[in-house]
Each structure stands twice: as structure tokens, then as C-alpha cells.
Amino acid sequence: SSEVLEAIENVIQGVLQSLAQKKAPVLTVANRTDWRNIEFKDSVGLQMIPGCTTKQIRSDCPQSARRFALMLKILSMIYKMVQSNTYATKRDIYYSDTLLFGSQSVVDQIINDISCMLKIPRRSLHVLSTTKGFVAGNLSYTEEDGTKVNCTCSATAVTVPSNVQGIKNLTSHAKFILIVEKDATFQRLLDDDFFSKVSPCIMITGRGIPDLNTRLLVRKLWDSFQIPIFTLMDADPHGVEIMCVYKYGSVSMSFEAHHLTVPSVKWLGLLPSDLKRLNICKDALIPFTKQDENKLASIQKRPYIACQPLWKKELEIMAASKLKAEIQVLTSVSSDYLSRVYLPNKLQFGGWL
């Protein structure tokens, strides 16, 4: 915490020095959305390059003066929280003054900018993000406040903890981890008692694009157990994008890649080649939109696809057919086909990429 306080004090000292010299204070942040600032490393995923381009948030410029003020406001809130050892969610910060901040996304972006500027992970800034992910299966752990959580005996899923860093005593006999894109599929597998029928496993869903805590938990489970991690996604560009976030990370959070990515993640399904192999009726598939075409084209150009020839092939099949499919399409074969046939066969015969 002294490191965090010192980093914030250095920023404020810079602002005061500028004022003393009668200069307009400026905050310098890395340009987090520019692909030119990102390098791809097989062992880490997408990470920010050391000498990346920056942008200045000036206090004397009408376009950025408001943002400059909001950054100082949030820095002061973080400073107080670290000093008093209290925590707040991004939502709490937004609701402390909704008129001032204007929207939740403004708060989210500024917190990420501050984290990147100070080179300090968000959790160390005492800012928690609200969790939307769920975990179930063969896993138990102790939360930071001493609460014991057992995901094995619960018929319903457990919410991913909001302070993943603080959980300890993780125990599991799981043979693998299954990341499920959608809540509906996750619930279906839970109802079918999938995680105890095939072999003990841990199931996680980020319910779409995963939040920070879900990604941190996947990484923590990988560090703790070193067991295979499989993904079950829709056979569409959006599903592929989500899988890439777990495996390689995202451009906007590339400055924290080391804590968030798991490059060993495997693509279990739904593969575009599965649709032909299983004779899925064309009527059950959904035609691409223009947005899907653009998204797929952008994914195909990314640096990590070049080192994944089998993924590349699957994306080419998808691009050629211009058709996409949700995991639910498997119910057109039979209602419990996913948990009874599809997943057990894939896991037994190594049907992943």
C-alpha cells in the first residue's frame, strides 16, 4: 500500500510543480486502444510494448480539462481508500457522485487509465469490479474474510468472488476446467449434473465477455492446479472473440496481461467443422450479418491466429459458409446431446484444438 500511496503522491507532486512554474499540469497515459502499442508473445498473450505511444490529458485544453479533473478526483478517492484499508466497487465510485461522473463507463475507463499510468494492478488500488461470472463443480476455497466456499455440494452455481486475489486454500480433484460462454448453457450443464457424471471438473462462465474477476479466477485456477482448460463457445465470431480474451487477453487490458491470460486454453467446441461432421441441418444455422463478417475478418488478421494453424482452418470454414451456430443447435440432435454425447466424446477422444 505504501507503494500505491507513493505513486499517487508522485503524480500530485508533478501537478504542483507545474503549477509552481506557472505551467498547465498534464497527465500522461499510455494509449491503451492502439494495436501498434501491443506485441504478441506466445507465453503471455497480448502485452503492452515498453516504449508505447502515450496521450496527454491536459488541464488547459477544453477537450480534456474535465477528464483531467475527474482523474484527480478518483486518484484522491483511491488514496483515501488505500490509507484507510477500505474497498469500493467501480459502481460505488460512480454512485458517490453520478452528476459529476455522468456515466459508469467514464469511471471504468479512468480507473483503467490510472491503473495503467501508475503501473499498479486495479486490485491494489482497492477498486473492485462487480462480478457477473459463476463457478461450479469440484472446488472449495476460503475467502479473504474467512468464509469457506464449497462449489461441489451446491446445486446452484457460486458467484465468482469479488476479491479473487484474497482467496486461499483452494482444493480440487478436478481433471479439467470448462469455460462456458453463455449462462443458459452453463445452467443446462449444471442441471444435467455434468461436472460429476463425466469426471470431476470445474465449470466457469463469464456470461458473455468475461469481467476482470472471472478472468483472474481462471488464471488463479490454472496457477493452482495446472489442469487442462477447455472452452465451449458458440460457433460464431463473437464466441471466438470471447475465447481469445481468456487465452490471449484484450488490447485495453494488455498492461495487465501477466495476471489475466492463460495461453494454454484449448478450443473444445462448438467448432465450425463440427456442424458438418454432425450433419446439423442448414435451417438450424444463422446467416452472417455484415458485423459478423467484419468481426471475423479482424480476428483473422490478429497476430495470434498465425501461430494457430488449426484455428485458422476453422475460421476459414466459418468465413466460407457465412453461417454461424449457437451451442443450443445441438438440441436439434437430441435434448441432452451436449452433456450426454458431444462433450464426453470430445473429452475422451481429444476433439479440441
**When comparing pLDDT for 165 and 219, which is higher?**
219
Q: Among residues 79, 95, 248, 337, which one is catalytic?
A: 95
Residue 233 has pLDDT above 90, yes or no: yes
Per-residue pLDDT, 155? 66
Confidence of residue 237 (pLDDT cuts 50, 70, 90): very high
| Averaged pLDDT score across all residues of the chain | 86
Per-residue CA distances from 141 to 63, 152, 153, 221, 295 (Å)? 47, 11, 13, 11, 38
Instruction: Evaluate if residue 138 carries a pLDDT over 70.
Output: yes
Model confidence over 63-106: pLDDT tens digits? 888 899 999 999 999 999 999 988 888 888 898 888 889 999 89
- Please name the residues in contact with 14: beta carbons below 8 A apart, sequence gap of 6 or more: 25
Q: Higher pLDDT residue, 240 or 261?
A: 240
pLDDT value for 193 = 81
Confirm whether 304 is a catalytic residue: no
Contacts of 72 (CB under 8 A, 6+ apart): 12, 15
Res 263: pLDDT: 85
Q: Contact, 44 vs 303, CB < 8 A?
A: no
**307 pLDDT more than 90:** no
Beta-carbon contacts of residue 235 (< 8 Å; ≥ 6 apart): 269, 270, 271, 272, 274, 275, 318, 324, 325, 326
| pLDDT for res 79 | 92
The band of 178, judged by pLDDT with boundaries at 50, 70 and 90, is: very high
The amino acid at residue 58 is R
Residue 35 has pLDDT above 80, yes or no: no
Give residue 44's pLDDT band: very low, low, confident or very high (50, 70, 90). Answer: confident
The predicted model gives 332-344 an average pLDDT of 84
Tell me the three state secondary structure of residue 51. Answer: coil
Pinpoint the alpha helices (H) of 47-103: 65-84, 90-96, 98-101
All domains of the chain in start order, with CATH: 2-128 (1.10.10.10), 134-349 (3.40.1360.10)
Q: How far apart are CA 51 and CA 71, in angstroms?
A: 23
Lowest mean pLDDT among 154-163, 217-226, 322-331: 154-163
The band of 329, judged by pLDDT with boundaries at 50, 70 and 90, is: confident
Q: C-alpha angle with apex 9: 7 to 13, nearest 5 degrees? A: 120
Res 51 pLDDT > 80: no
Q: Which residue has the cell 452455481?
A: 157
Rounded distance between C-alpha atoms, residue 89 and residue 129, angstroms: 5
Q: What is the pLDDT of residue 75?
A: 92
More confident residue, 153 or 81: 81
Q: Which amino acid is at 324?
A: K
User: What is the average per-residue pLDDT within 26-55?
Assistant: 77
pLDDT bin (cut points 50, 70, 90) of residue 154 is: low
Please report which residue ranges of the chain form alpha helices under DSSP H.
2-20, 65-84, 90-96, 98-101, 104-118, 183-191, 194-197, 212-225, 237-248, 257-260, 272-277, 290-300, 309-321, 337, 343-349
Please state the rounded mean pLDDT for residues 36-52.
76
pLDDT at position 45: 81
Place 153 in a pLDDT band, splitting at 50, 70 and 90.
Answer: low
Average confidence (pLDDT) over 247-252: 80
**Does 280 or 73 have the greater pLDDT score?**
73
Q: What is the mean pLDDT of residues 164-182?
A: 90
Distance between CA atoms of 147 and 2, rounded to whole angstroms?
28
Minimal CA–CA distance to 261: which of 41, 17, 23, 38?
A: 41
Q: Is the pLDDT of residue 254 over 80?
A: no
Question: Is the pLDDT higher at 4 or at 303?
Answer: 4
pLDDT at 152: 82
Tens of pLDDT, residues 196-226: 777 888 999 998 888 888 998 999 999 999 9
